[in-house]
Structure 1
Amino acid sequence: MTDVIFTRTRTKPVELPQGDTAVRSGKKWPALPVFLYLLFIALPFMFDIGTLSMTFLRVILLVMIIPLYVRLALGKYGRVNLVDILFFLYIIWAGLCLQINNPDRAVEFLGSNALDFLGGYMLTRAYIRNREEYIAFQRMLIVMVVCTVPFAIYEAITATAPITEIINKIPGFKSHPDFWNIINERRMGIMRTQVIFQHPIHYGLFCSTIFALAYVGTKGIYSDTKRIFICCAIGLGVVLSVSSAPLLGIAFQCGLIAWALIFRDVPRRWLILTTLFVVCYVVVDLLSNRTPIKVLISYLTFSAHSGYWRVLIFEWGVVNVINNPIFGIGLNDWVRPSWMHDDSVDNFWLLNAMRYGIPGLILISVPYFYALFRIGLRNFDGDRELWLLRRGWVMSFAGMTFALCTVHIWETVYSFTFLLFGAGMWMMTAKPKGSVDKPLRDNSGYHRANTPQTDVSRADHGYSRHAGGKTADNPVTTRASETPFARKNLKNTARKQR
């Protein structure tokens, strides 16, 4: 911990290091609702209620979402911010678009979408409000990923997902459909693994988002050896999914980590990196007969065929957005050539624009990037632990942002993405250790030292013109002398003595 010396001046408080700069969290596990949510990601039980397919994950969100929003509106989780408002408006707008385009499917689809999206976001927005709760949440995510890797190895060898197979054998329950019953595909000689998710891409994304959290966010909490071991396990999980989007996300995170290490002494390293991205974009645009986005999509896939197909999806997706810019096309089939039989759109951002129009894209992307930039630009230089937690979270979502340009997410991993997003919202208002609010009025006229290591009363060190452990000029021996009138009398007495 640290000693913080409060002075009469308005300058930044002095932070005195006490041993290891990283403060280890004493909280081992996150709050019960968050714990249960993550537990039921790892144990994907599903069951039917009539014609409705439910999961324990959605049951938790169904029970919690309304009370959480009521308490948010009452200010129980801090002030309502722009992200809270725009995310809520996004669901309202999505509901309007579906009512216009697909009135027969609007209620069911919007209900599940709102539960996954708003429920995941609000759960961590409400229950992760400080660094201790965030570190506990981060720790559980790391444990989950590492524990799934042996199952991924087994599935890659046998093409059998043991967790979902066991759940399917329990009467009254089922789990996610077996990917291998849908399409039996090898890539790079490896059987793709889904483990606990609907699709191998989703398992890969789940692993890749934890990479920067594990390597950067746990520095000073875990030893370097442990961090490297965890990252190797996460990397193996991503590789076993054999999906380009997760590999893109983890590669981008590694690039950011390497850039931060190489140019750690350069003050404007992130501005330089952003400038380089802009320059590269302009150069590619000038030298290529394709747009930079098409070039990027075509090269970020395992095969030329996949790249070409994604470029076609992007081109025709944009055509649909241009033709339906306001309310989108909802859940209707999108316009494309007759020989493009597959109706999937492998681009999260593009699909939102297609379904809910340009306003829908704005309402989900603006708060997303607003939160990333606002948290990323905050000054946490005086608090290394908070600085590392912030860097890990921002790098994780930087990688996720690029991955979502080449893949769509739904159900569990969709909800998980915004659960992780909501887990970082406390950093918007987090105060670095050693900082204090400016007092409205300082009546003491003297410095006050606060040392949490020993239980020392104010009378023991008095009011002094010096801070820290120095001897007080005028020790105060009674509580009565701490009143404004007593201080005034003491000053008058001292003036007469002089």
Structure 2
Amino acid sequence: MATAHRPYYAPPPISRHSHASSSDLPVYFAVLLGYILLLPPQLNTTILGSVLPPYRFFLIPATLYVFGSIFGGRLRLTWPDFFVAGAAAWTSFALFMTSKQIDAFTSSFAQVSDTALAYFFARAVFRSLRDVRLFLLLMLPGLAIMAGILVFESLTHNHILQPFVSQFTGQSVNMRIDERLGFMRARGPFPHPILAGIFFASFLPLYWLSGIRGWPFFIGILASVASFFTVSSAALLALAAGTGLVVYNFVSERIANLSWKFFFLIGVLVTFVLEFGTKAGAFSMLMRFASLNSYSAYNRVLIWRYGTENVEKNPWFGIGYAEWERPDWMKGSIDHYWLLQAIQFGLIPPLLIAMACAVGIYVLAQRSSHSNPIDARFERGVAIAMAVFAFGVVSVAIWLSAQAWFFMLLGITVSLGYAERHRIAPRGPMPVDAMRLAEHQSLPSPRPLPAEVGDNSEIR
């Protein structure tokens, strides 16, 4: 295999007067939302039968900022934006077709808040890689503390955070102790271990490829790896997939033949072989090897079988929050986010959301092929995080803060993919001595800085 050619690149020094640092206030509000997402469910309130987590009280007034960004020209709408907006609109319409009016109103409000509002808030706030780096740095203390709680709960076999908070709110805590592999399945601030696991695992590619150095880099990685202590198959799958893709990115930067196009070609080929070359099919094979126990794998296969039958009977508007048809001995949980969306709201919303994910990841990946090495690496990190998250929810349902973060990450992906490229003026002519030295050594003269170097700074 040939070794990849590394073009000359000399990043300019970090400047406080860079275009990307004009105003960090929106990012600070995004960080505030991130910390609110880490609040335990004992702080939720219920109004008109609808659960209102604290982050929804933040997202409602944030809508004004989103509309201000759209009408002010700061947020340019793209195809993924229309896909997400269409999914939210169809979800609300479907709920009014399958539920009572008051139930449909409260449910629509909850769904739109956790999906469209979270997505468009991230779209309006994050406009550059610098914004995302700043967000990751400021989120690090909260993530580290919650990760430490996950580890402590798992090793001590005792839920700590939520019972502690319930003493002040008066909300009862009914959490059973589940054990796997000798560890307790920790929850931290989330209502289920699966949500904690998929949430923290999604940060692994972000911190790994962000360009952040020193102790924040290592703390970010450790906080992400703490998702292991939820002992969730979805979290372990996300960690393994995220690590594997990051390693492949490292290798692809050094071996020219190992491109991402080659990776996707192999992935499609393997999926085709598993789907048509085995009796079980690609999904069943994935569940068999990705689940921690045979019962969980078998249950997920049954969920897919009977769930798709429900979708075939109600393809347009779904069944809302009614009970889905299944054998009496099966549990009611649906451990498949995309399938759950189709069962409840019809095929249109999950298809539109999947299209938004696919387009966002594709556009960002394409952008990375024209960016400088530092920015390209981080752009691929965001694309990997989004892809792993979207792929991971085929074996888990997400709701509340985990779902809000999923759509925030989608908003970040789309924003970076469609971000405008800024041109930095040259800092002056090249010194004469450098020109003569290049000519004397028969080497190509040092090239001027690339036109697209807006977000190449590494935050240390």
> Under a length normalisation based on structure 2, what TM-score does the superposition of the two structures give?
0.83
Query: Where do 1:409-488 residues align within 5 Å?
Result: 409-431=398-420, 435=423, 450-451=426-427, 468=430
Contact 1:47–1:174 under 8 Å retained in 2: no
Q: Which AA in structure 2 matches 1:332?
A: A
In the alignment, structure 1 residue 41 sits paired with structure 2 residue 31: no
Query: Where do 1:276-315 residues align within 5 Å?
Result: 276-315=266-305
Q: Which AA in structure 1 matches 2:87?
A: Y
In the alignment, structure 1 residue 231 sits paired with structure 2 residue 224: no
CA offsets 1:22-49 (integer angstroms, 9 cap, x no match): x9x9798863421221222233333345
More helix per residue: 1 or 2?
A: 2
Residue of structure 2 aligned with 1:384, choices 373, 377, 399: 373
Cα distance in 1 for partners of 2:104, 2:143 equals: 35
Partner in structure 2 of residue 145 of structure 1: 143
Instruction: Indicate the SS of the match to 1:154.
Output: helix
Q: Report the structure number with the largest CA radius of gyration.
A: 1
Residue of structure 2 aligned with 1:333, choices 308, 313, 323: 323
In the alignment, structure 1 residue 248 sits paired with structure 2 residue 237: yes
After TM superposition, give the deviation of residue 165 of structure 1 in Å. Answer: 2.9
Contact 1:207–1:234 under 8 Å retained in 2: yes
Q: Which AA in structure 1 matches 2:213?
A: Y
Residue of structure 1 aligned with 2:95, choices 94, 98, 103: 98
CA, structure 1 residues 389+61, in 2 after alignment: closer, same or farther (shift >3 Å)? same
Cα distance in 2 for partners of 1:257, 1:363 equals: 28
Contact 2:287–2:300 under 8 Å retained in 1: yes
Residue of structure 1 aligned with 2:357, choices 364, 368, 371: 368
Contact 1:239–1:247 under 8 Å retained in 2: yes
Cα distance in 2 for partners of 1:193, 1:182 equals: 10
Identity %: 22
CA, structure 1 residues 18+100, in 2 after alignment: closer, same or farther (shift >3 Å)? closer
After TM superposition, give the deviation of residue 188 of structure 1 in Å. Answer: 0.9
In the alignment, structure 1 residue 204 sits paired with structure 2 residue 197: yes
Cα distance in 1 for partners of 2:249, 2:345 equals: 37
Cα distance in 1 for partners of 2:97, 2:13 equals: 62
Contact 1:46–1:55 under 8 Å retained in 2: yes
Instruction: Indicate the SS of the match to 1:133.
Output: helix
Q: Which AA in structure 2 matches 1:164?
A: Q
CA offsets 1:360-406 (integer angstroms, 9 cap, x no match): 22222111211111111124544223212211101111211221000
Q: Which AA in structure 1 matches 2:189?
A: I
CA, structure 1 residues 384+254, in 2 after alignment: closer, same or farther (shift >3 Å)? same
Cα distance in 2 for partners of 1:450, 1:275 equals: 40
After TM superposition, give the deviation of residue 184 of structure 1 in Å. Answer: 2.5
Instruction: Indicate the SS of the match to 2:45.
Output: strand
Partner in structure 2 of residue 81 of structure 1: 78
CA, structure 1 residues 52+310, in 2 after alignment: closer, same or farther (shift >3 Å)? closer
Contact 2:66–2:124 under 8 Å retained in 1: no
In the alignment, structure 1 residue 348 sits paired with structure 2 residue 337: yes
After TM superposition, give the deviation of residue 271 of structure 1 in Å. Answer: 1.2
Contact 1:40–1:57 under 8 Å retained in 2: yes
Partner in structure 1 of residue 3 of structure 2: none
Instruction: Indicate the SS of the match to 2:127.
Output: coil
Give the length in aligned residue pairs: 418
Specify every segment of 5 or more residues in structure 2 that has no aligned partner in the other structure, as ranges: 1-7, 434-460
Cα distance in 1 for partners of 2:83, 2:65 equals: 17
